Amino acid sequence: MHFGEKGPLFLVCVLVLLKGIRGAWNEEPGSLILGCGLDEGAEDADGRRWSSDKKFLGTEGDSITSKASFQDPSLTSEIPYMSARIIKSETTYKFPVKPDKRYWLRLHFYPSIYASFDTYNSYFSVDANGVTLLTNFSASVTCEALSLAYIDREYSLAPLNSDTLTLTFRPSDKYNGAFAFVNGIQLIQMPDLFDSATMIGFDGQTIDMTNLNFQTMFRLNVGGQFISPVQDSGLTRMWYDDTPYIYGAATGVTNKAEKNVTINYQGMPEYIAPVDVYSTSRSMGGDKDLTMGYNLTWMFHVDTDS
């Protein structure tokens, strides 16, 4: 659990969807999708338009833009990952927001070599209006530990009671020559997914979640395939295949609903999750799994430094 100056930042393994969700949802036109280091706007592989980040720099500090020296084959798109803003001293972005709305903030990192800057030397912290998001963070070390070429960090920020979100990147003072970098920033107004939740093991006590900040740790489509942001149900989330997280020999049996099966959301809005999420599952079955004692285990690596 991380604590910022204005309250706790909780780590959530699966996006928690709570009561109090109402109405239909469409991405607000004021949402920001920024490619850091882009001189002009560009489209990604899904056709989404990424704008330049330049006009949102509050204090530019000492930053430059650069292209990555190498494109890893696993990159889903050249945009926004192949361009970056390299930050050599404390630098802030200032984004317009509605003071009474909750926002998703997504940060995209592709550790590579940018000009003379090797991201193995990059250690930095990030905060949003006093809420600590990353501390002494290394995208290179994190990606290496997870065997990933790039990494995204997603946060759900409670209403700020301000019309400006100040996002600050601060290179570490613990390492000589340390710098910060970022490839993409998304700031998207989100619906009211959070209301209250019952605490397990506390005799029915509840916690009000409306004013808390969250970090999404994992969002998995169990038994299914990767779902891209444009395939999501309007909230531009990424849902990952759960297979790489299964621990041990038992993988269970994947199930998929027949094409003639209709998913009934009943009283829930359809933006909670796309149909593909509800159409797949994973269950125990088969002799191989029975010998494992009916256990099906997922293992998650949690980066405690961020």
The predicted structure's pLDDT at residue 197 = 78
The count of structural domains within the chain is 2
- Using the 3D structure, point to which of 132, 166, 189 is the last residue of a domain: 189
Q: Are residues 163 and 202 in the same domain?
A: no
Per-residue pLDDT band at 266 (split at 50, 70, 90): confident
Q: Are residues 39 and 180 in the same domain?
A: yes
What pLDDT, in 10s, does the model give residues 154-206?
A: 999 999 889 999 999 999 999 999 999 999 999 999 887 777 778 887 777 88
Residues 252-281 as b/e (b if ≥16 CB within 10 A, e otherwise) read beeeeeeeeeeeeeeeebebbbbebbbbbe
What pLDDT, in 10s, does the model give residues 49-71?
A: 999 999 999 865 689 999 999 99
Geometric angle at alpha carbon 10, from 6 and 12, rounded to 5°: 155
In this predicted model, which residue has the larger pLDDT, 272 or 303?
272
Judge if pTM exceeds 0.95: no
Q: How far is CA 220 from CA 14, 91, 117, 148, 241, in A?
A: 7, 33, 33, 16, 6
Domain of 267, in residue numbers: 194-292
Q: Are residues 100 and 235 in the same domain?
A: no
Q: Are residues 33 and 169 in the same domain?
A: yes
The predicted structure's pLDDT at residue 285 = 62
In a domain, 265, yes or no: yes
Q: Are residues 173 and 226 in the same domain?
A: no
Q: Are residues 284 and 178 in the same domain?
A: no
In a domain, 10, yes or no: no
Q: Over range 226-236, report the average pLDDT.
A: 84
What pLDDT, in 10s, does the model give residues 207-223?
A: 888 888 988 888 888 88
In a domain, 12, yes or no: no
